[in-house]
Amino acid sequence: MHSEKCVRCQQDEPVDDHGFCGHCRVVVLGGHAPAPRPTSDACIRCRDAEPVGEDGYCGYCHLAVRVELEKGIDRFSRYLENQARFSQWLDADR
């Protein structure tokens, strides 16, 4: 990355080979809806409310992210359990 103006937001920040800064690269290449640039006084998730902790989330988003993480960990655990059962089934069949 080198420092130039981002082709999307025109901010003087380090840009990649396509001309996007880090924030715009996620928005454009990641397929997320355009969002305002994060500031130190806005939640890093909703960019609407004031952050309440060191992690940068507002109170609502802090709980929402925690729930998402718990659901993701639970889903991944079930996946691993099913993979283990499938491996046992394959081994028993040999």
Residue 15's domain comprises 1-37
Give the C-alpha separation, 4 to 72, whole Å.
Answer: 38
Give the C-alpha separation, 73 to 81, whole Å.
Answer: 12
- What pLDDT does residue 68 have? 95
Average pLDDT over residues 61-89: 96
Q: In the chain, how many domains are there?
A: 2
The reply to whether 33 and 2 lie within a common domain is yes
The reply to whether 12 and 49 lie within a common domain is no
Contact indicator for 43, 59 with CB cutoff of 8 Å = no
Specify the range with the lowest mean pLDDT, choosing from 28-37, 45-54, 68-77: 28-37
Q: Exposed/middle/buried for 79, CB within 10 Å: 0-12, 13-18, 19+?
A: exposed
Q: What is the pLDDT of residues 15-25, one digit of tens each?
A: 666 676 776 66
